[in-house]
Structure formats: C-alpha cells, structure tokens
Amino acid sequence: QVQVVESGGGSVETGGSLRLSCTASNYNRNYMTWFRQAPGKEREGVAAISTPGGRTYYADSGKGRFTISHYRANNTMYLQMNNLKPDDRAIYYCAADFVARATWALRADRYDYWGQGTQVPVSS
C-alpha cells in the first residue's frame, strides 16, 4: 500500500517562503499532488506532477509563486512556496494515486492515498 508523509510546514510571515516535502513509499502510481484546506473551506488542489514525466499542473492561486518538483531517486516531492500570502494559510496535504486524465490531477476525489497534513500558518 502506498504511504505518503509530509514535512516542512511551519510559521511564516507574509511575503516569506517555505518548502514542503512529501515522501511516498511503495509508490507505483502516476501522480503526486499537493492539496490544501483552510478552515471552513473545501480541500483544493494546489499543484500536481506526473511521475515519471515531470509534467506539472498548478491552480491559479499558486501560479508564479509555487513550484512543484519530484526527485525519482528518493521518490520525494517538493513544493517551493514563495511570496506567501495570508490566503495561503491552510493545512497542506500530499496525495498520490493513479489518475487517468491530466485534467483530473488537481481533483481530490481522484486520490486514495493521503498524508496526515502539515500546517502552514501565514501571519500578516
């Protein structure tokens, strides 16, 4: 069974940067993706990457500020977040699974394997 574990969350000020990490074990799927959920809001896709292949997909909220990457050697995915805003404050989750269509890569209902989440509190 695929297991995913996130790390790297922590307090950051508006305009600051943070890098999240996600390591997947027993991984044999084709997408790894970052989601986030703010209090009172639905979980939303942030960025996805195909593995192998490295094709990336971003939600509008993170375009130009977030960069997703994946290193095959240790099967670890990263999310580099720059110029963080108060609206970025959320719990960030890593997910992995087989996704049949690239257009579905940011849909939470397409993933069965989730990490426990890591907090990203952005102070204004």
Contact predicate 33/47, CB 8 Å: yes
**CA–CA separation, 94 vs 115, rounded Å?**
5
Percentage of the chain beyond pLDDT 70 is 100
The yes-or-no verdict on residue 53 having pLDDT over 90 is: no
Per-residue confidence band for 52, with pLDDT thresholds at 50, 70 and 90: confident
The yes-or-no verdict on residue 27 having pLDDT over 90 is: no
**CA–CA separation, 56 vs 86, rounded Å?**
24
Q: Tokens for 58?
A: 């971003």
The yes-or-no verdict on residue 26 having pLDDT over 90 is: no
Contact predicate 4/95, CB 8 Å: yes
Length of the chain: 124
Reported as a single tens digit per residue, the pLDDT across 61-116 is: 999 999 999 998 889 999 999 999 999 999 999 999 999 999 999 999 999 999 99
